[in-house]
Amino acid sequence: MIAFILKRLGMVIPTFIGITLLTFSLIHMIPGDPITVMAGERGVSAERRAELEALLGLDKPLYEQYFVYISNIAQGDFGKSLITREPVLDEFLTLFPATMELSLFAALFAIGLGLPLGIIAAVRRGSIFDHTVMSISLAGYSMPIFWWGLLLIILFSVTLGWTPVSGRISALYWVDTVTGFMLIDAWMSTEQGAFTSAVQHLILPSIVLGTIPLAVVARMTRSSMLEVLGEDFIRTARAKGLSPLRVIMKHALRNALIPVVTVIGLQVGILLSGAILTETIFAWPGIGRWLLESIHRRDYQVVQGGILIVATMIILINLLVDVLYGVINPRIRHSN
């Protein structure tokens, strides 16, 4: 097991270097630079441009900028935003709890609904329920997030007035940031009604962000269950006279979950990329929107640092999933 984990860890380093190279070259390949974008129609004189380039460290050749960037990262320094002049890591840490809160609830929504739907669809294979779940999940999987979000806002927030339109909490509540998790901060605050407001604000964005993972989890659970339900040991269990519920929940589900766990792990990347759109629609102050705006502003430091941090997290989560996979699937553990 240890060897298995070490082997996986060894692969992390080249991936890591690859990511730094890729983000660095991609962001520098986009035409335009932060100074031009900032100056706009007004323009900036050649002397002023030279001054600013020196100030922002953009006057050095690209390879040198890359090495400065890499050696700073090695020391845990992700640089400072070219626009706000705040350290990238500080900005990330301020915004990350919002993304994490949203992703967590989106994942709960996707797994909490996707697993039972997939199981029932598999058990009642070919029924109307099965067909309905599968067509709806196909639709969910193909849903353009922006459109879906606006549709839900117009229906539930504007027409029916059930949920708030956007943000993390009503502007009327002045909740202090303590943990960065709005539910916790609102719970601790003395403002009456703040917690309810925070919960209400989570509903629509979680549904929108969770829609694609929901579809994936439901479909994956169904197909994996179907495969397991056809295995010999299930027939044996049934033949022993075990109750159908026991056969499904204890014997079939445990085995069917193995590929589902992997898929759920892979959804983390999808959640984070989906967060870019969801956060923009729902004015959710998380890292997705932060990265998107930094690209528009050509804030090289934030784009490089931010993407690196996010990519590292995805690598670590995938590593965790690999390990977890080994834990729940003895076949893999032993073959290694």
User: Could you tell me the smallest distance in angstroms from the CB atom of residue 28 to another protein?
Assistant: 13
The piece of 15-23, 71-79, 105-113, 191-199 that touches another protein (CB under 8 A) is 191-199
Q: How many residues make contact with another protein (CB under 8 A)?
A: 60
Q: Would you count residue 174 as binding another protein (CB under 8 A)? A: yes
Interface with another protein, residue 191, by CB under 8 A: yes
| Binding flag, residue 29, another protein (CB under 8 A) | no
Residue 94 found at the interface with another protein (CB under 8 A): yes
Residue with smaller CB distance to another protein, 191 or 231: 191
Enumerate residues 266-295 that contact another protein by CB under 8 A: 280-283, 285-286, 289-290, 293
Residue list 100-119, contact with another protein (CB under 8 A)? none
Which among 68-76, 121-129, 137-145, 167-175 is the span making contact with another protein, rule CB under 8 A? Answer: 167-175
> Can you read off the two tokens belonging to residue 102?
């949203």
Question: What's the chain look like in SS3?
Answer: CHHHHHHHHHHHHHHHHHHHHHHHHHHHHCCCCHHHHHHHHHCCCHHHHHHHHHHHCCCCCHHHHHHHHHHHHHCCCCCECCCCCCEHHHHHHHHHHHHHHHHHHHHHHHHHHHHHHHHHHHHCCCCHHHHHHHHHHHHHHCCCHHHHHHHHHHHHHHHCCCCCCCCCCCCCCCCCCCCCCHHHHHHHCCCCCHHHHHHHHHHHHHHHHHHHHHHHHHHHHHHHHHHHHCCHHHHHHHHCCCCHHHHHHHHHHHHHHHHHHHHHHHHHHHHHHHHHHHHHHCCCCCHHHHHHHHHHCCCHHHHHHHHHHHHHHHHHHHHHHHHHHHHHCHHHHHHC
Q: Site for another protein (CB under 8 A): which residue of 5, 12, 150, 184? A: 150
Q: Give min distance, CB of 155 to another protein, in A.
A: 11
Figure out which of the listed residues 65, 72, 157, 223 binds another protein, where binding follows CB under 8 A: 157
Rule CB under 8 A: say whether 32 interacts with another protein: yes
Closest CA to 101 of 190, 21, 199: 199
14 binds another protein (CB under 8 A): no
Smallest separation (angstroms) from another protein to the CB of 214 = 18
Q: Which is nearer to another protein, 219 or 289 (CB)?
A: 289
Contact call for residue 312 and another protein (CB under 8 A): no
CB of 207 to another protein, least distance (A): 13
Query: Does 192 participate in binding another protein (rule CB under 8 A)?
Result: yes
Q: How far is the CA of 233 from the CAs of 4, 229, 238, 254, 326, in angstroms? A: 29, 9, 9, 13, 21
Q: How far is the CB of 136 from another protein (least distance, A)?
A: 18
Does residue 187 bind another protein (CB under 8 A)? no
Q: How far is CA 198 from the centre of its chain?
A: 20
327: CB partners within 8 A, 6+ apart: 333
Does position 167 bind another protein by CB under 8 A?
yes
Q: Is 60 in the site for another protein (CB under 8 A)?
A: no
Give the binding site for another protein (CB under 8 A): 31-33, 36-45, 48, 51-52, 55, 80, 83-85, 91, 94-95, 98, 150, 153-154, 157-158, 161-168, 170-174, 176-177, 191-193, 196-197, 200, 280-283, 285-286, 289-290, 293
